[in-house]
Amino acid sequence: MQWRTFSGQSIHLPIKTAVKEAIIKERNAGFHLKVCIGTDSQVRGEETEFATVIVFLREKHGGFMFIHNEKTKQPYSIKERMLVEVAKSIEIAYELCDLFNEFDVDMEVHADINTNPQFKSNEALREAMGYILGMGFAFKAKPEAFASSCCADKVVN
């Protein structure tokens, strides 16, 4: 998996190492961190692109994010695509959760799923929420799920 910063700089370390270094650097600078992980997707023709983000929030001092983009020609229904987004976020959250526990960093998984039943993405809400909470992670859906609905949304090409 190739990760990058928001400015486009490639992250050449394994993501777990890069996240650990970022946490240590931010702590040494005196910042208290919270991390939000989310994925968004965009369908263009036969191709679906997913963007997964790890958003680091510095308490009262902005933040930064690491980004991974991935494309596939696999066709998805809207519900399937929402659940694949959640699965991609959970995969990263699970890989990193021991680091967050070690350094006492709060982490949330954000799902780009609308809580309003009038929206098609709402079909996946119950399953996504069960999946995330069942893994033991804090869960946010729209409109509170800014990591997926704002941050990842901006970097899905």
The residue behind tokens 């899905």 is 156
Give the pLDDT confidence score for residue 51 in this predicted structure: 97
The pLDDT of residue 149: 87
pLDDT means over runs of 10, the chain (157 residues): 93 97 97 96 95 95 96 94 95 97 96 87 88 93 90 84
pLDDT of residue 143: 87
Query: Which residue reads 């901006």 in tokens?
Result: 154
Distance CA 139, CA 14 (A): 25
Q: What is the pLDDT of residue 153?
A: 84
Question: Would you say the pTM of this structure is higher than 0.85?
Answer: yes
Please report how many Cα atoms fall inside a 13 Å half-sphere around the Cα of residue 47, on the Cβ side: 8
Q: Looking at residue 55, what is its pLDDT?
A: 97
Taking Cα atoms as reference points, which of 1, 23, 26, 28 lies closest to residue 13? 1
Q: What is the pLDDT of residue 117?
A: 85
pLDDT at 12: 96
| Pairwise CA distance, residues 12 & 65, whole Å | 15
b/e 100-109 (16+ beta carbons within 10 angstroms → b): beeeebebbb
Residue whose structure tokens are 């998996």? 1
